[in-house]
A and B are shown apart, each in its own frame.
Chain A
Amino acid sequence: MDPVARQTLLAAMDAGWADPRRLYAEASTARRLLDQAREVLAQGLGVRPSEVAFAPDGPTAVRWAMEGLLHAARRRGARTVASAVEHSAVLAPGRHRATTAGDPSLFVEVPVQPSGALDLPAWNAALQVPGTVAAALQQANGEVGTMQPLEDAWDACRRAGVPLVVDAQACLGRTGAPTSYDVLAGDAQSWAGPGGLGILVVPEGTRWALPGPPDPDGALSGPTRHTPWVPLALAAAEAWQQTGATLDADAREATALVDALRAAAAALPDTEVVGDPVDRLPHIVTFSALYADGEAIVREFDRRGFAVASGSACTASTLEPSHVLAAMGALTHGNVRVTLPLLRVAGGRSEDVARFAEAIPAVVAAVRAEVGAPRW
């Protein structure tokens, strides 16, 4: 979390603790602070404050974004479309709706290219089917970093009359906020804000409503009728301002560091670096080493002081490999995912990356030796 936003969070626990719906002095202070936070976020996203809404976290924001479109269009249809690499907050409810209705055609997962980028002709075709009322696409994938062709995908949606949810959970604070969407969803953690705060943008022209009764104080709770804990919203707004001021410089440096990591991984035998090398998020790198055990790699890096993630099946509670890697046709075992923190959060970032790059060959070799990797 951003250090200045952390200070804000602590201070707001004193200044903004009260329930903003009450009438006493502390409550009006809390309400004023929440309004300010909403204004900062709205300005940063280029929207009106009344269009900004909150959720308990990023995945809930994405799920609600789809549910609001579906509910508003319930008389026209119930079919939804998403890329095959979307967050499970899109895929799991989509599959569940189709299964519950006994109609597999209600949820369409559109394939991606080996780079992870959307197959646009297949997307266009999927949108044409009558009864399609919502589509979901990430601005960029949080596992492999590949950016999606948002403008083209949104154009296709508008031609077909299907509103688009854009999931920017991996992107806000790392790359420019998107403008091609009908509903936007994000997570304050992506811009070094606090955990436990999701954000939605529901522009006034979008037909969107969650089921349930309206909130008499809609100005406070917004379209999602979720009023966050005020200190969280304030810390998120502070982090947005801090991150926004350094976004370009941070992204430039991160892009170069990831280039170096990609080169270090690609230099290993039988190792493939996954995702688009150029059209990608600045701070994410993913590679897979043939004949290596993903869990052992994570453990070995952890032993050396590096916290890495993995899309390999052996590292998942379900023992299923990453659906993103599988959809891309990438190798799923021996997978390593590195997400660089923002420089404001980790001052020694470039030194850490250099040490990490140096460690990659030894770690992969050790893990391969452990399982008796063949020479072939």
Chain B
Amino acid sequence: MVTGVPEPGPTQPTPRPGRVPTRRPEPGPQPLVVVDARGLRCPLPVIRLAQRAGECPAGAVLEVLATDPAARADIPAWCRMKAQEFLGAQDHTGPDGEHTAYHVRLVG
């Protein structure tokens, strides 16, 4: 079970609006890229993840929101097969139902 893995640093919210960029923007945390795959069945959540990953630079952190139970096994498996870093998963319950947020850091 991957639930309970601590929230990783780079998945913190993007910097507050109006914040002046520092002189050294690198290697600061990249903004979070959200892939909303709620309601999609396997293999679509992983396909959406891979499509977005192809557009993002190394170091980017992707947050995949999914309701498909297969994502719990398949997103870590995708990371292993594609040599990317799986950061963890958190279950969320909200007014629009339950979903899980998976975090992936692109290594390259």
Contacts and interface: CB of A to CB of B under 8 A. Distances in A.
Interface of A: 270, 272, 288, 290-294, 312-314, 319-321, 325-326, 329-334, 371-376
A312 B70 contact: yes
Given A291-B47, A313-B69, 8 more contacts: A290-B43, A292-B43, A313-B68, A321-B42, A329-B76, A374-B50, A374-B51, A374-B54
Contacts of A374: 47, 50-51, 54
Interface size on B, as a range, is 20 to 34
Contacts of B53: 376
Contact of B46 (A291, A294, A314, A375): A291
B107 interface: no
22 contacts: A272-B81, A290-B78, A291-B46, A291-B47, A293-B42, A313-B42, A313-B68, A314-B41, A314-B42, A320-B69, A320-B70, A326-B73, A329-B77, A330-B73, A330-B77, A331-B81, A332-B70, A333-B70, A372-B47, A374-B47, A376-B51, A376-B53
A330 B70 CA distance: 11
A374 B69 CA distance: 21
B38 interface: no
B98 interface: no
A333 B74 contact: yes
A135 to B, nearest CB: 22
Nearest to A331: B77
B5 to A, nearest CB: 14
A334 B78 CA distance: 12
Nearest to A334: B43
Interface in B66-88: 68-70, 72-74, 76-78, 80-82
Given A313-B69, A320-B69, A321-B42, A329 B80 contact: yes
B69 A291 contact: no
Nearest to B76: A329
Contacts of A320: 69-70
Interface of B: 41-44, 46-47, 50-51, 53-54, 68-70, 72-74, 76-78, 80-82
A266 to B, nearest CB: 13
**From B42, B44, B46, residue with most partner A Cβ within 10 Å:** B42
Nearest to A288: B77
Contacts, number: 74
Contacts of B51: 374, 376
A235 to B, nearest CB: 39
B23 to A, nearest CB: 34
A374 B46 CA distance: 10
Contacts of B42: 293-294, 312-314, 321, 332-333
Given A320-B69, A333-B70, A291 B43 contact: yes
Contacts of B41: 313-314, 319
B81 A332 contact: no
Contacts of A330: 73, 77
Given A291-B46, A334-B43, A321 B70 contact: yes
B74 A332 contact: yes
B46 to A, nearest CB: 7
B58 to A, nearest CB: 13
Contacts of A319: 41, 69
Leading 8 A-B pairs by shortest Cβ distance: A376-B54, A333-B42, A331-B77, A333-B43, A313-B70, A326-B73, A374-B50, A321-B70
Contacts of B82: 376
A333 B72 CA distance: 11
Contacts of A312: 42, 70
A290 B69 contact: no
A18 B82 CA distance: 62
Contacts of B47: 291, 371-374
Contacts of A373: 47
Nearest to A328: B73
**From B41, B74, B80, B81, residue with most partner A Cβ within 10 Å:** B74
B50 A326 contact: no
A292 B53 CA distance: 18
Contacts of A372: 47
A291 B73 contact: no
A10 B77 CA distance: 49
B54 A375 contact: yes
